[in-house]
């Protein structure tokens, strides 16, 4: 049996940056608040808790000290309120996410109504909506939802940095038929695009793909869906033990991949675990 890994695994630039900012601050302060999960990976969150990061869901729970804005970004008014409360704010918003916020604001200021392709409940989308002014935006996840868009005319389009390129293309293809003017910005992060392309390549040459990462991670879920859509047997796992019930007999080629919030060490552990099954 052969095990294949894509050329790029482990944390992306935005996640590494957020973790570096937290680590530096912990050295100075010993304790730091995070509004929501800093990144979507359960093992990393547990590790951060042990090191002194306190996760809260609302700014009212932070009485003093330092608060970090996660890589998914936040509503800018929240950052302003945190500063007004006298908190030290460390902004770990990924520059790619900040760019989507900026484009949404630009479109809004130039009289476009904005379609955001992505998941309305995701923190990144909430931040982008806030940048544009919520009343001017409409979020779609599925091409079927296009008919629910309550506006025509000048339409600007941005997309969640972790969205599937195929889904985005489908939505845009149908959307351009609606507006008088349709201005489209492909804001899918380039790391995500590479991971999606590599996952497609991997799925074509193996019988089983193991996608490793947090079930709450949007980009990891997209990789699992993408692999499944290629017709290959796909397991979406968070930890090594999740593989124990899988029947490996007769499988000759396995691929392992992971999202941008999945630690490289975890992928290596999964590969090693797989080695044990093969020997057994």
Q: Which residues bind ligand SF4 (CB under 6 A)?
A: 12-15, 71, 94, 96-97, 161-162, 189, 191-192, 219, 260
3-class secondary structure per residue, 211-262: EECCCCCHHHHHHHHHHHHCCCEEEEECCHHHHCCCCCCCCCEEEEEECCCC
Q: CB-wise, 69 or 97, nearer to ligand SF4?
A: 97
Active site residues: 124
Q: CB-wise, 165 or 243, nearer to ligand SF4?
A: 165
Closest distance to ligand SF4 from the beta carbon of 251 (Å): 30
Q: CB-wise, 71 or 196, nearer to ligand SF4?
A: 71
Q: CB-wise, 113 or 162, nearer to ligand SF4?
A: 162
Distance CA 159, CA 125 (A): 9
Cα torsion through 170, 175, 177, 181, rounded to 10: -140
The set of residues, in sequence order, having a beta carbon less than 8 Å from that of 121 and lying 6+ positions away, is none
> In whole angstroms, what separates CA 271 from the centre of its chain?
23
Closest distance to ligand SF4 from the beta carbon of 71 (Å): 4
Closest distance to ligand SF4 from the beta carbon of 275 (Å): 29
**Closest CB to ligand SF4 belongs to which residue?**
14
Q: CB-wise, 123 or 156, nearer to ligand SF4?
A: 123
Closest distance to ligand SF4 from the beta carbon of 54 (Å): 22
Closest distance to ligand SF4 from the beta carbon of 171 (Å): 19
């Amino acid at each position: 049996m052969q095990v294949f890994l894509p050329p790029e695994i482990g944390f992306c630039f935005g996640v590494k940056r957020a973790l570096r900012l937290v680590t530096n601050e912990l050295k100075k302060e010993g304790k730091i608040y995070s509004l929501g999960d800093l990144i979507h990976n359960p093992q990393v969150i547990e590790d951060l808790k042990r090191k002194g990061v306190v996760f809260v869901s609302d700014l009212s729970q932070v009485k003093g000290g330092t608060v970090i804005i996660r890589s998914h970004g936040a509503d800018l008014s929240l950052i302003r309120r945190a500063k007004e409360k006298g908190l030290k704010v460390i902004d770990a918003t990924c520059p790619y996410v900040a760019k989507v916020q900026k484009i949404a604001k630009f479109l809004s200021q130039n009289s476009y109504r904005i379609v955001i392709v992505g998941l309305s409940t995701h923190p990144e989308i909430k931040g982008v909506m806030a940048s544009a002014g919520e009343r001017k935006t409409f979020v779609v996840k599925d091409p079927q939802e296009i008919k629910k868009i309550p506006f025509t005319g000048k339409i600007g389009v941005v997309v969640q940095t972790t969205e599937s390129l195929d889904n985005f293309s489908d939505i845009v293809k149908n959307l351009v038929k609606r507006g008088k003017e349709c201005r489209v910005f492909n804001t899918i992060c380039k790391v995500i695009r590479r991971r999606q392309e590599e996952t497609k390549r991997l799925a074509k040459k193996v019988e089983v793909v193991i996608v490793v990462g947090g079930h709450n991670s949007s980009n990891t879920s997209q990789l699992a869906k993408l692999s499944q859509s290629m017709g290959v047997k796909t397991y979406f796992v968070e930890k090594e033990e999740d593989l124990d019930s899988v029947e490996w007999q007769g499988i000759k080629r396995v691929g392992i991949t992971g999202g941008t919030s999945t630690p490289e060490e975890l992928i290596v552990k999964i590969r090693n675990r797989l080695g044990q099954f093969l020997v057994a």
